[in-house]
Structure 1
Amino acid sequence: MSTLTLDRIDRKILHELMHDATLPVAQLAERVGLSQTPCWKRVQKLEAAGIITRRVALVDPEKIGIGLMVFVEIEATDHSPEWRAEFRRVVPRFTEIVEVYRMAGDIDYLLKVAVSDMSAFDEFYLELTRALPCRNITSKFVMETVQTTTALPIDVATA
């Protein structure tokens, strides 16, 4: 991870790219108040520093057959390094798991799971419980997505 200090222009670049990573360099440069070459060099610097980690396409889940989002809360059987290592080994086997967080509080891990329907979730759930011993697994089904974004709140006014 880099300790690169971000100035106002870097923050503007990140703000614009978080909202639309397909912007041509000319348009990005215009929006942040630079010419194309310095703008492109800054983007490359942000990538090299690991601040920009990927550029991806966001897809409407329902239009590709993902009709059910589920948040799965996991309580570990124990908090040993061995259990955590097994968890980290098992999780990547499940393409349905799109986000994983280690939590503080009542649960140990929170998973965001994307599946086509309840039947697909049931298959996922059964396979997960076979692959990973857990004290408790609780599922919370998304009824409606009110807001979602991948853009992080960045202060573009910071000098």
Structure 2
Amino acid sequence: MAARLDELDRKILRRLQADAGESLDAIAREVGSSKTPVWNRIRKMREAGVIGPSTVIVDPDALGLEACFFVLIRTSEHEAEWQARFLDALRARPEVQEAHRLAGEIDYILKVRVENARAYDTFYQALISEVRVFNVTALLSMEELKAETALPV
């Protein structure tokens, strides 16, 4: 169920999504409120699960993680035991930035960030040694055109 947010809550969320490290005074000034009401709203949104943990966005190129692969997985296995092993395998690999179960011909899509094609192959070999899959297609992203973490609020 969606949380009930008023316009001030939405303004606060937009500021936090732009820069969660911004001071409470600056956020309050930007949204046209004072510090205490803004702090109380942020606390309530955290308690309601609207706001999760604060993190830092790191530039993958600065860490040498220049290759981004989108991995399409088809499987003939749909039992709970297989799904649990697959999920465990994904969670154990920091290269997997995102994983989605899909409707349609493709069962899963992964976003995998690695140094290069050789590192992807190492990841791929490890994954298929742990879980059986029917078909894997890896698509190398040539250029990231848009990447947003902020949700439209």
Name the TM tier (shorter chain): over 0.9
Identity %: 39
Deviations 1:84-112 (A, max 9, x none): 12211221111110111111111111100
| Separation (CA, whole Å) in 2 of partners of 1:131 and 1:79 | 15
Structure 2: state its 5+ residue gaps: none
Q: 1:53 is matched by which residue type in structure 2?
A: G
C-alpha displacement at 1:72, in angstroms? 0.4
Secondary structure at 1:146's aligned position in 2? coil
Structure 1: state its 5+ residue gaps: 155-159
Deviations 1:12-69 (A, max 9, x none): 1111111111110001011111100110111111111111112111111111110100
Residue number in structure 1 paired with 2:123? 124
Secondary structure at 1:152's aligned position in 2? coil
Q: 1:74 is matched by which residue type in structure 2?
A: I
Secondary structure at 1:82's aligned position in 2? helix
Indicate conservation of the 8 Å contact 1:76/1:83, yes or no.
no
Residue number in structure 2 paired with 1:66? 65
C-alpha displacement at 1:78, in angstroms? 2.1
Residue number in structure 2 paired with 1:30? 29
Matches within 5 A, 1:114-153: 114-153=113-152
Aligned residues: 153
Q: Following TM superposition, where does structure 1 have runs of at least 4 consecutive aligned residues deviating by more than 4 angstroms?
A: none
Question: Pairwise CA RMSD of aligned residues?
Answer: 1.2
TM-score after normalising by structure 1 = 0.92
Structure with greater contact order relative to length (CA < 8 Å, sep ≥ 6): 1
| Separation (CA, whole Å) in 2 of partners of 1:110 and 1:97 | 10
